[in-house]
């Protein structure tokens, strides 16, 4: 089993990430065909459940995108279950301390590194067959979300935890935690300074920084800042934006 996203990072590349919120295999298939490097099924704030996630994975399999999942929380059952379904990486919300980062690693890795239970019912079919368990610890990418003041204050101890691939910034909740307006694409120096700190700390530990963006243009800026993965809004917003633009054009306004 080889993780294409990991290979892209190792070659110096940056990953453009799709965000799949709609519980539709067809919409996931369409998104996967559009040139993204990875696609994240959102079980936290998306309208997805476990079965719709599996259907999205099946639909995306014909395209060279790395399947990722944002789990709803740091909980052993769902972490193991999405990995068994074939996720090649996890984004986990609200990791605010070293202990919570260690817990995420423990839930996601097989012994002796962790406590993940053996039963890769779908993952083994697509990611190495009988050899899956031998490579899963190395190839499964873990990205804790840095999205609170507390996480920023404990950044060094979080990112020093063995087993992580990097981190993923949630700009909206990050803004909330500092008493600022929650949104994706910030322009204030205050946030740029935090981003620079996160990127520098990731580099210190040989990790990769990712961020949630509200547009492709901001994702490009994120890559210029030093981020190595950037999401270009979610499928719902992209569809709505295109639909509004079409209506506006039709009305000549």
Q: What is the pLDDT of residues 39-51, one digit of tens each?
A: 999 999 999 999 9
Which contiguous run of DSSP H or E holds residue 247?
helix 235-251
Tell me what the mean pLDDT of segment 245-251 comes to: 97
Is the backbone of residue 129 left (phi > 0), alpha (psi -120 to 50) or beta?
left
34 CA to centre of own chain: 18
Residues in Cβ contact with 122 at an 8 Å cutoff, skipping those fewer than 6 apart: 54, 57, 84, 85, 86
Residues recognised as catalytic: 45
Residues in Cβ contact with 168 at an 8 Å cutoff, skipping those fewer than 6 apart: 91, 143, 144, 145, 146, 209, 210, 211, 212, 229
Check: CB of residue 42 under 8 Å from CB of residue 31. Answer: no
- Tens of pLDDT, residues 174-201: 999 999 999 999 999 999 999 999 999 9
Paired residues of 38 in beta bridges: 17, 66
- Tens of pLDDT, residues 76-116: 999 999 999 999 999 999 999 999 999 999 999 999 999 99
Domains of the chain: 4-251 (3.20.20.60)
Which pLDDT score is estimated for 240? 98
Question: How far apart are the C-alpha atoms of 37 and 4, rounded to whole Å?
Answer: 8
Which pLDDT score is estimated for 128? 81
| pLDDT at residue 52 is higher than 90 | yes
Tell me what the mean pLDDT of segment 52-68 comes to: 98
Which pLDDT score is estimated for 1? 65
- Tens of pLDDT, residues 125-182: 988 888 999 999 999 999 999 999 999 999 999 999 999 999 999 999 999 999 999 9
Which pLDDT score is estimated for 57? 98
| pLDDT at residue 228 is higher than 90 | yes
Which pLDDT score is estimated for 130? 83
Number of H helices, E strands in the chain: 13, 8
Among 227, 114, 112, 213, smallest CA distance to 164 is for 114
């Amino acid at each position: 089993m080889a993780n294409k996203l990991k290979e892209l990072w190792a070659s110096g590349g940056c990953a453009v990430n799709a965000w799949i919120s709609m519980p539709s295999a067809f919409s996931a298939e369409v998104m996967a065909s559009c040139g993204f490097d990875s696609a994240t099924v959102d079980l936290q704030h998306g309208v997805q459940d476990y079965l719709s996630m599996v259907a999205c994975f099946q639909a995306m399999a014909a395209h060279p995108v790395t399947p990722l999942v944002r789990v709803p929380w740091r909980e052993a059952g769902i972490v193991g279950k999405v990995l068994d379904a074939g996720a090649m990486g996890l984004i986990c919300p609200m990791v605010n301390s070293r202990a919570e980062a260690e817990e995420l690693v423990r839930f996601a890795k097989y012994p002796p590194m962790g406590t993940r239970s053996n039963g890769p019912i779908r993952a083994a079919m697509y990611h190495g067959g009988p050899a899956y368990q031998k490579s899963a610890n190395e190839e499964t990418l873990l990205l804790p979300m840095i999205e609170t003041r507390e996480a920023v204050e404990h950044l060094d101890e979080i990112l020093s935890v063995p087993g992580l691939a990097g981190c993923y910034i949630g700009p909206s909740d990050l803004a909330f935690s500092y008493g600022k307006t929650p949104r994706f694409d910030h322009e204030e120096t205050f946030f740029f300074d935090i981003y620079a700190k996160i990127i520098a700390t990731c580099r210190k530990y040989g990790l990769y920084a990712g961020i949630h963006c509200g547009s492709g243009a901001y994702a490009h800026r994120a890559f210029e800042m030093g981020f190595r993965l950037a999401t270009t809004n979610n499928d719902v917003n992209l569809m709505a934006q295109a639909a509004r633009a079409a209506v506006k054009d039709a009305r000549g306004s």
